[in-house]
A and B are shown apart, each in its own frame.
Chain A
Amino acid sequence: MADEKDREEIVVAEFHKKIKEAFEVFDHESTNTVDVREIGTIIRSLGCCPSEGELHDLIAEIEEEEPTGYIRFEKFLPVMTEILLERRYRPIPEDVLLRAFEVLDTAKRGFLTKDELIKYMSEEGEPFSQEEMEEMLSAAIDPESNSVNYKDYISMMVTDEN
């Protein structure tokens, strides 16, 4: 019984250190605060994948009562620790991602055209900003065919991450 509690304490301590490291990298002035616009990046760099809506709710939880544009570490730490302990916002497995592309590829060609991709990503769901759309296009679209072979694209991204 005591062993288990010790182990959990060690796990929590490690989480704390990991969260602190990720936070500090974005704490440019060493004030234990980061710009609220970087919070999404920090949470995602720790391996979680909240949706934009979920992220919005999280920020509301950790912001000051009177939002300052900055998030303090003291508020971020407990919330983030909880997220890691509960294994919330797990990342999308590769096969699910592939199936998602296949769903959009109604004609089952093995690719999506640039226009189709733009339409889906920037008009539906939680639409991309122009910057996000441009970045995805620059990496995904093959300029000769003006389309994305999504299977290759996924493999490339997965390799890059590992």
Chain B
Amino acid sequence: MGCNTSSTRIENSQTSLRAVLIIQNWYRGYRARLKARKQYALTIFQSIEYADEQDQIQLCNFFSFMLENYTRIRKEEIGLNQLAENELDMRDKQDYVDLIDVPDSYKGPRLQFPLTCADIDLLLEAFKRKQILHARYVLEVLFETKKLLKQMPNFTQVQTSPSKEVTVCGDLHGKLDDLFLIFYKNGLPSGSNPYVFNGDFVDRGRNSIEVLMILCVSFLVYPNDLHLNRGNHEDYMMNLRYGFTKEILHKYKIHGKKILQTLEEFYTWLPIGTIIDNEILVVHGGISETTDLNLLHRVERNKMKSVLMPPREIYKDYNTDSKHSKVDVTISAHGRIKTKGFLSEHLPKHEREQVIDILWSDPRGKKGCFPNTGRGGGCYFGPDITSKILNKFQLKMIIRSHECKPEGYEICHGGKVVTIFSASNYYEEDSNRGAYVKLCSGTNPRFFQYQVTDATCFHPFHQRVSTMENSAIKILKERMISRKTDLIRAFLYQDRRKSGKLPVSKWAFCMETILGLNLPWRSLSSNLVIIDQNGNVDYMSSFRNIHIEKPVKEANSALVETLCRYRSDLEIIFNAIDTDHSGLISMEEFRAMWKLFSYHYNVHIDDSQVNKIASIMDLNRDGSIDFTEFLKAFYVVHKYETMMKPEATNLG
């Protein structure tokens, strides 16, 4: 161990410095690529979410088509009562709710009407212990809340003061832990701690009913300080697709149907928005260039059963005379749902559109107002639209929700539009934070962020990104397989020489056009296809390592693909037809439904195919079909996953 001369020491320290720089440089590059991958995953989740919403609107077109053409089958047989407007009056609370007994064996929370803050605490504690509130109380709460909501105007007016700030929360989507976290950080609602909940309380998360109950009970205890706005998911049609209906039927096997019926009307009484200090407009989605608050103050909001179900003429007799004027549902050039013909029981078209804009629109940087082609409803509104509408109605700011933001909130349009989103980890573990905002006149809004964490938060960043990425890629691949025929046709068209390969740019073009998703295809390509050294894509490689779990051999592949693609839609239609929620429908119902479906969606399946499918599905030959079982066979499975344990059930 000799002694170092000073020059050796300098050389060593220079080498060491170089080494440090190398490691830092490499790490920063790696970390940045992780962040980019996370952002790509989020982009995938988001575009598919909005594309699904668009599908939902298409599905409603199908429903109205089906309603019109189902004249041969008696209305009662397929339970179209659920689909048609509810002509029968809701039985009064006394007729039904009081008949429900809460047995002594029930160990869950027992509410005492009139409710007090003790009931809020009771409910919170019970839900923390994962108890389920008895259906009787659910119904009672819904009835009482509806009664009180009926007295509220379309827009609730709220005033703040230095000692009374108001807290605005965004989408919760059934995430109970986020609600607990908000109450923990910000305190329970009370006379001195008012809240506004800006819609989308339900769907997607596992505890939609619990979230809704807490909000309703809090509202009943503090009706002047707990404000609820309607979101686009406070809509029974959305609930069919996005999980709330399933959750109710699962948790409430006896009274679930009644709860769902009650919710249909309950939602319509939720106010459209809140106005704070006469200067801040709080609505779920946004605005459009034609938004007219004066009109919106006056509309009969309870006539808007479902934003998605257009009004139709009620037929007194069901003859097959199709010269009857049809309800024509089309998506017009402006992306709005147009209808002709309406009843006095429904809002006039232009009023419907105003409400749809409020619940569905998204702000964008581009000036002007454009149809919201991502979601299929409402519009994209630019900063000029915001300024125009705010000036017109002497307002200063819009607070809205509706879009998941990585930080839980986002400010745009020069500070005039704030998005607030309160469901953390919305798409996947660590996908985003949640946030709420506190407002007080005269001071700037204050934002508070949080994130629900569990044991998995100890996973290092790269692992969380991997999980998210795998999840996103998987659903993207499912999309691809559901459009396999169209994709292959597009690839073959581009690949003149039928070499099986395409340059990345052409592959990306096909993917974007056929799937209709605006994604960074080039960056994602390595996750989806095999690319050779020349940078050419082996376009069939995407389809090689994913397959459908139990392909029904007798059915041809086009049918299989169709079932795959329309799986969600079919499930919803089935659920709507299966009125007693037994999980079974009759063969006759199935055939009729399928024929209409294939006609409307322009899928060419002939009668013999339909019969074959029907008989395949009726495995025990008793004349009824367990459709959900059959559909499960068409879930796309990745080969390597057959060895892994099944995914947790997704209620959405």
Contact = CB atoms under 8 A, between A and B. Distances in A.
Interface string A25-47: 11011111100000011111100
Given A18-B522, A31-B366, A161-B33, A101 B19 contact: yes
A44 to B, nearest CB: 3
A120 B20 contact: yes
Contacts of B522: 14, 17-18, 21
Interface of A: 13-14, 17-18, 21-22, 24-26, 28-33, 40-45, 48-49, 51-52, 91-92, 96-97, 99-101, 103-104, 120-121, 124-128, 132, 135-136, 138-139, 157, 160-161
Output the residue of B19, B31, B364, B462 with the most chain A CB within 10 A.
Answer: B19
A102 to B, nearest CB: 8
Contact of A31 (B31, B365, B462, B508): B365
24 contacts: A14-B504, A14-B522, A17-B508, A22-B520, A24-B520, A25-B43, A31-B365, A33-B365, A43-B32, A44-B28, A44-B33, A44-B36, A51-B25, A52-B28, A92-B25, A103-B16, A104-B20, A104-B23, A120-B20, A120-B23, A121-B23, A121-B24, A121-B27, A126-B21
A14 B20 contact: no
B19 A104 contact: yes
Contacts of B20: 100, 104, 120-121, 124-125
B521 A49 contact: no
Given A21-B521, A45-B523, A139-B460, A92 B28 contact: no
B395 to A, nearest CB: 21
B15 interface: yes
Nearest to A121: B24
Contacts of B40: 25
Contacts, number: 128
A45 B32 contact: yes
Contacts of A132: 27-28, 31
Interface string B24-42: 1111111111011001100
Given A49-B29, A100-B23, A101-B23, 18 more contacts: A14-B505, A21-B523, A25-B43, A32-B365, A44-B29, A45-B35, A45-B36, A49-B28, A51-B25, A96-B22, A100-B20, A124-B16, A125-B21, A125-B24, A126-B21, A126-B24, A132-B27, A157-B462
Contacts of B25: 49, 51, 92, 126
Interface in B28-64: 28-33, 35-36, 39-40, 43
Contact of B21 (A43, A51, A138): A51
Nearest to B522: A18
B177 interface: no
Contact of A91 (B16, B26, B39, B363): B26
B466 interface: yes
B217 to A, nearest CB: 36
A160 B521 contact: no
A41 B32 contact: yes
Contacts of B17: 124-125
Contacts of B462: 139, 157, 160
Nearest to A112: B23
Contacts of A103: 15-16, 18-19
A97 B364 CA distance: 43
Contacts of B538: none
A18 B363 CA distance: 26
Given A121-B24, A139-B461, A22 B36 contact: yes
B410 interface: yes
B22 A97 contact: yes
Nearest to A23: B520
Contacts of A101: 19, 23
B412 interface: yes
Contacts of A138: 460-461
Contacts of B466: 160
**Smallest CB-CB A-B distances: 10 pairs:** A31-B365, A45-B36, A44-B32, A21-B520, A29-B365, A125-B20, A139-B460, A100-B19, A103-B19, A100-B22
